Structure 1
Amino acid sequence: MARPSRKDDILQAALALFTEIGVDATTIEMIRDRSGASIGSLYHHFGNKERIIGALYLAGTGEYAAMLELGFKEAKSAKDCVKLLVTSYIDWVIANPDWARFVLHSRGRVEAGEMGDQLREANREHFARILEALAGYREQGLFREMPADCFASVVIGPTHDFARNWLAGRALTEFAGCRELLAQIAWESVRA
């Protein structure tokens, strides 16, 4: 296994601090101290705290997108693909609860910040890859008729809502225990 890069060290230090004391209370100096990076290295890789926030957000959503890409290569049916959208999301959230909390609470800040265009482009590309993976099944009439942008909300909406509750400690049921149920509900919601 490769050693994490200095950039990764900085991002993980930032995530730990954001989790412990909050995004607003965390300073560049705290991130530098926690990561062991020099101030020059920190500014070389990111430039400022807002770019660290944006990079951390994009790295998290990028991990989920990478999980989907791998899964789509192995999916054998429309049902498999739809369920994969849900199970990959759940698996990533369970494996990365602090990062997931950060992503769920930071989207607006990143969209409004200097990395907003990068986020919108990454989301556009991610959505296009999902539509591409599902295009053949859509052409075969295997999905209920609905606008493409509505499709994603129907599939992931209940899972996203449960993730928020689980991450906030408001859910009594373990997220993993709902994995198959939520995936099946997503499939039943969009199948023709």
Structure 2
Amino acid sequence: MSPKQQRGEATAAQVLDCALELYAARGEAGLTLNAITSASGVSAGSIYHHFGSLQGVVLALAQSWLGRLLGEVVGALHQVTDARGGVRALTETYLRFIQEHPDAARLMHSVTADREAITNARQLRGAQEARIAPLADWLHAHRESGELAALPLPVLESLILGPVTGIARRWLAVGDIDIEEAIRTVPDHIWRSVSP
């Protein structure tokens, strides 16, 4: 990597770090281009060069953290051999991740991030394909072995991730869910919905 590319990556990382700090301190309303330029020392022109827009910054930040989450989930799936253990590992890993990184998790699960993800769904799915592929492969292998219900892969993915994402969102927004209890009990309920 050339020195120019290294500087570009360092600048982009600096912007993303500042954007998360601003989001954590001030919420979505405080995440403005002016606030990012002031906090990061990076010019608006440079931010537009790297991200295209303020929405591009939000999307890049959410996707960066989503990539980290997916990496941890896939790592957890590789530690178990059976489908039921995989459902438990996925649930625990996901919920512990949001506990450890609540600010990033709030951004990943925000209306703004959702809107940008829906608007750019095909592009994002392609960009995340390398990170999503191991999860899809895991689902496919366990469905083919008969350990998971013979449902389309997107349905299995939704039945497993949907409840976990819903719990994460509720915990982040309202805080009335006991994560430890959810980790103990939810995998068995998910398992009943996807077992053959």
From 97, 107, 117, the equivalent of 1:111 is 117
- How far off is 1:147 after superposition? 2.3
Matched with 2:126 is 121
Deviations 1:98-153 (A, max 9, x none): 1111111233321355x554323245554432121233322221112222211122
The answer as to whether partners of 2:139 and 2:157 remain within 8 angstroms in 1 is no
**How much identity, in percent, do the aligned residues show?**
27
Q: Does 1:145 align with 2:140?
A: no
RMSD, matched Cα: 2.5
Report the TM-score, using the length of structure 1 for normalisation: 0.82
Could you say which structure has the higher helix fraction? 2
Amino acid at match of 1:148: L
Cα pair distance change 1:38/1:22, threshold 3 Å: same
Instruction: Give the structure, 1 or 2, with the largest relative contact order (CA under 8 Å, sep 6 or more).
Output: 1
- How far off is 1:76 after superposition? 2.0
Matched with 1:83 is 88
Equivalences, count: 187
Cα pair distance change 1:117/1:138, threshold 3 Å: closer
Matched with 1:180 is 184
The answer as to whether partners of 2:70 and 2:132 remain within 8 angstroms in 1 is no
Q: Does 1:45 align with 2:50?
A: yes
Amino acid at match of 1:111: A
The separation in 2 between residues aligned to 1:10 and 1:99, in whole angstroms, is 14
From 18, 23, 36, the equivalent of 2:23 is 18
The answer as to whether partners of 1:151 and 1:190 remain within 8 angstroms in 2 is yes
The separation in 1 between residues aligned to 2:139 and 2:61, in whole angstroms, is 28
Report the TM-score, using the length of structure 2 for normalisation: 0.80
- How far off is 1:34 after superposition? 1.5
Structure 1 alignment gaps of length 5 or more: none
Amino acid at match of 2:117: E
Matched with 1:62 is 67
Matched with 1:31 is 36
